[in-house]
Amino acid sequence: MDYDVSLIITTYNEEKYLPILLDSINNQKTDLKMEIIIIDDSSTDGTLNIINQYENFIRGGGGNSGYT
């Protein structure tokens, strides 16, 4: 699929702020086709659970990806 915009978000223990960010992105009024890629750096809080709750409009993975 072709996208107009790719948002790449790196996370580490962002349980508190990630839902705010993702809701804000999801509520944007635009005709652009967006892909959202989240790269988590082995968070130890509930960040991965939040990512899984939003899986309908994001893609990404967990695990330590090195320097982010």
Question: What is the identity of the amino acid at 65?
Answer: S
**Tens digit of pLDDT for each residue in 5-56?**
999 999 999 999 999 999 999 999 999 998 898 999 999 999 999 998 887 7
The per-residue pLDDT for 64 is 58
Helix H, strand E, coil C: the string for 6-37 is EEEEEECCCCCCHHHHHHHHHCCCCCCCEEEE
The per-residue pLDDT for 66 is 55
CA pseudo-torsion sign 17, 53, 62, 47: positive
Q: What are the residue ranges spanned by the domains of the chain?
A: 5-61
When pLDDT is cut at 50, 70 and 90, the band that residue 62 belongs to is: low
The per-residue pLDDT for 7 is 92
18 Cα distance to chain centroid: 8
